Amino acid sequence: MGSPQAVPPGSASDGRASGGTPRAALAELLAGNRRFVSGQPIHGHDVTAAAAAASGDQQPYAVLLGCIDSRVPLEAIFDQTFGSICVIRTGGHVLDRAVLGSIEYVVGELGVPLVMVLGHERCGAVAAAVDTLRGGGSPGGALAYLVDRIAPAVAEAGIDDPQVHPKALRRHVLRTVAALRADALLVGPVAAGRLDVVGALYDLATGEVALTGG
């Protein structure tokens, strides 16, 4: 793997998308993932970068909603530095009021033009929902909330389908994207073209991120 390279603040590859548009933000995220996959990251996450980011107001260009899985560190897989992206992680990237409020704040107050919902293969939360719908019994505690939120995607995928896990994961990402696009405080920016909400899937083995479309 190549060594992190010094990047001048404000340059096109310093982790901030030029232009402030949804398309530019998405292009920068995917370019960072290509750097990560190729073993050529440019951000080393050292304390000097943290200090530089702390010197002024934050200007992130994207907010990412991902899973808590320890194998999916979002700043690393998109090769982003301090101050470039806002990250929210919940089990199975499940939405709740706190998550929605956080995304509404970042979009409304910081002007972020892109929200990405990132799922990943072999997601434990999706597996728990599949097991529950197959008659394994509902888990106790607040874990049941996660299962309940993912269950509709599992039902749409087809509980008896041999590929229910990957299909349910994709459906859950698409359902989450749709819910965000329909949110009362996000629907206006989306309609005006100031904001885009996209879904993507992360390959644990290769490190690659692929957009879901839809």
Taking residues 133-138, what's their average pLDDT? 83
Q: Higher-confidence residue: 49 or 173?
A: 173
Tens digits of residue pLDDT in 84-131: 999 999 999 999 999 999 999 999 999 999 999 999 999 999 999 999
Tokens matching residue 28 = 């920068």
At residue 139, the pLDDT reads 82
Instruction: Identify which of 137, 209, 214, 205 has the alpha carbon closest to the alpha carbon of residue 171.
Output: 214
Tell me the pLDDT tens digit for each residue of 161-195.
999 999 999 999 999 999 999 999 999 999 999 99
Tell me the pLDDT of the chain averaged across its residues: 88
CATH fold, domain 22-211, is: Beta-carbonic Anhydrase; Chain A (3.40.1050)
Residue type (1 letter), 192: A
Strands (E), the chain: 62-67, 85-90, 114-120, 196-202, 209-211
Lowest mean pLDDT of 5-19, 58-72, 196-210, name the range.
Answer: 5-19
- Whether 155 has a pLDDT exceeding 70, the answer reads yes
Nearby residues of 48 by Cβ (< 8 Å), 6 or more positions away:
none
157 contacts 76 by C-beta, under 8 angstroms: no
Annotated domain spans of the chain: 22-211
* Nearest in space to 182 (alpha carbons), one of 174, 60, 171: 174
What is the torsion angle, in degrees rounded to the nearest 10, for the CA atoms of residue 112, residue 116, residue 117 and residue 122?
-140
pLDDT in tens, 2-22: 333 434 334 444 445 545 899
| pLDDT at position 140 | 82
pLDDT greater at residue 147 or residue 18: 147
- Burial (CB count within 10 angstroms: exposed 0-12, middle 13-18, buried 19+), residue 54: exposed
Of 9 and 53, which is predicted with more confidence?
53
pLDDT of res. 12:
43
